[in-house]
Amino acid sequence: MVFNLVSFREFFPKMSDRDWGYYELERLKKSYDTEILDELVFDLMFLVNNGFYSKLLDIYANWDEPVPISHPETAEIASKSKLLKLARDNLKHSPVKLFSNLIDYHSFRFLYPFLEWIYCMNLKRPLTATDVKALLSSDIGERIVFGLDDFDKIEDIPEISSEFFQKLNKLKWKDRKAEILYKKFLDLIRKFALSGQGHGQTSFNVRQEQIVLFFAGCSAVNGDKNKINENNVVKAYKTLFKIIKTDISKFFGEIKPEDFDQRKFVKDSESLEHLKNHNRIESDKKKFWRGMIVGVFSCFFLLLYFDLWWLLIGGLITAYIIGGDYKIGARNGFIAGSVGMLFFIVTGMFLNQKINTMFVSLFTESYGFLIVVALVGAGLPAAVGGLVGIKIRRIINKAK
């Protein structure tokens, strides 16, 4: 029997991102409430069809910080927001999400920048330090935290406290369905609203992802829940869409504009190049930590069950995930192998067990000798693996 091999694209010819979006939407409807999903998509498409998202992406791509770190009033302006101070003091700060809480400061910290972009869109001009001060001095943050998609209607705003953020720290997903809805609808936004919008859409979506997660957490805490459910996720997306389409400048009073640059929001090569470099750096950081964590644990378990030369595989895995040139691949493989060995030795010392006869003598030697053995003995084969990983990565990329 002879089978005709047909490419994937022939099954789905000329399908745009929006086509894929509707396809994914129909799949979601098999697991979630159809009426709720249709309502969310209706709100999303209202923003798309009326140009809200394109304007927002344009502002984001050409954003010039109105109050940079070097600004003499930065600390004073930031101190205007009690919400910002409580979040900074109570939410967990961690450079690696894997070791943080579900809701942490990283989830919160994009809220006010996001509001600045919306405010800028409402005013149709760049923001000034006075504008930012008005935003942070207002109750808009508390309105959103407690009112969510009714933030413009709420009258009695509760007093924000550290207890609220302590509850956010403890939140978990109620079940896998809630987490999947959160991630899948974010992908729908990317397909319907952000696709084809040019540079900046990826990093913008990363920030939007954290904002929605923070809103979902607020919804759970407001409902006195310790787990985020599907209804909290839906409420979060409704809040996001409501903020984007609302003229939030009405909450800050009348502001007399200071002298500011009357430039139009036109994409110029310098700002876009800066943004691309920024996005590339962020992506490289995430890739490095992801590859290093996977590589270190691979090296650890390879040492646990095999011998030293199996670290070549650990170095290969590390370099393949992170990428780079041969020098970087060898370096990253060396680091993964060395750290994996250190974990291995420390684990053996902690358990007071000689988990591999090959390293029996190491547990009785000085710490300096342990470090030398870890760096040289484990790093070298892993470095060789790093070179192999880069070679394999280049072969596969070339084949694509």
Question: Please, are residues 53 and 193 in contact by the beta-carbon 8 Å criterion?
Answer: yes
Average pLDDT over residues 20-27: 84
Largest CA distance in the chain: 79
Class of residue 353 by CB neighbours under 10 A (exposed 0-12, middle 13-18, buried 19+) = exposed
Distances (CA, A) of 125 to 55, 117, 121, 122, 191: 12, 10, 7, 8, 28
C-alpha gyration radius of the chain: 25
**3-state class of 197 per DSSP?**
coil
- pLDDT recorded at residue 380: 80
Q: In angstroms, rounded to a whole number, what is the distance separating the alpha carbons of residues 128 and 252?
A: 14
Least confident of 6-20, 52-66, 81-95, 158-172: 6-20
Helix (H) / strand (E) element for 319: namely helix 311-322
pLDDT digits (tens, 9 = 90+) for 175-216: 999 999 999 999 899 888 887 666 667 888 889 999 999 999
**3-state class of 307 per DSSP?**
coil
pLDDT digits (tens, 9 = 90+) for 137-182: 889 999 999 999 999 998 888 999 999 999 999 999 999 999 999 9
Distances (CA, A) of 253 to 31, 134, 139, 256, 364: 45, 8, 12, 10, 71
Question: How far out from the chain centre does Cα 258 lie?
Answer: 35
Question: Please, are residues 226 and 53 in contact by the beta-carbon 8 Å criterion?
Answer: no
Domain ranges across the chain: 16-257, 292-399
Main-chain dihedrals φ then ψ at residue 79, nearest 5 degrees: -70, -10
| pTM, rounded to two decimals | 0.63
Is the pLDDT higher at 294 or at 41? 41
- Going by pLDDT thresholds of 50, 70 and 90, the confidence category of residue 271 is very low
Q: Is the pLDDT of residue 14 over 80?
A: no
Q: In angstroms, rounded to a whole number, what is the distance separating the alpha carbons of residues 274 and 279?
A: 9
pLDDT digits (tens, 9 = 90+) for 334-382: 887 777 777 776 666 555 544 444 444 444 444 555 556 666 766 787 7
Nearest to 59 by CA among 130, 133, 127, 160: 127
pLDDT digits (tens, 9 = 90+) for 53-73: 989 988 988 888 887 766 667
- Going by pLDDT thresholds of 50, 70 and 90, the confidence category of residue 8 is very low
Question: Please, are residues 94 and 156 in contact by the beta-carbon 8 Å criterion?
Answer: no
Question: Please, are residues 244 and 118 in contact by the beta-carbon 8 Å criterion?
Answer: yes
Average pLDDT over residues 17-37: 85
Question: Please, are residues 296 and 339 in contact by the beta-carbon 8 Å criterion?
Answer: yes
Q: How many residues does the chain have?
A: 400
Provide the 8-state DSSP code for 269: H
Q: In angstroms, rounded to a whole number, what is the distance separating the alpha carbons of residues 235 and 225?
A: 14
Question: Please, are residues 85 and 160 in contact by the beta-carbon 8 Å criterion?
Answer: no
**3-state class of 106 per DSSP?**
helix
Helix (H) / strand (E) element for 173: namely strand 172-173
Provide the 8-state DSSP code for 375: I
3-state DSSP helix/strand/coil percent for the chain, to nearest 5?
70, 0, 30
Task: Taking the CA atoms of 148, 149, 152 and 153 in sequence, report the sign of the dihedral they define.
Answer: negative
Instruction: Return the percentage of the chain with pLDDT > 70, whole number.
Output: 72
Which parts of 79-198 fold into alpha helices (H)? 82-90, 105-108, 111-123, 129-137, 140-147, 162-169, 176-189
70: amino acid identity, one letter: S
Q: How many helices (H) and strands (E) does the chain have?
A: 19, 2
Kind of pairing, strands 172-173 and 227-228?
A: parallel
Q: In angstroms, rounded to a whole number, what is the distance separating the alpha carbons of residues 367 and 201?
A: 49
pLDDT digits (tens, 9 = 90+) for 304-313: 667 666 677 8
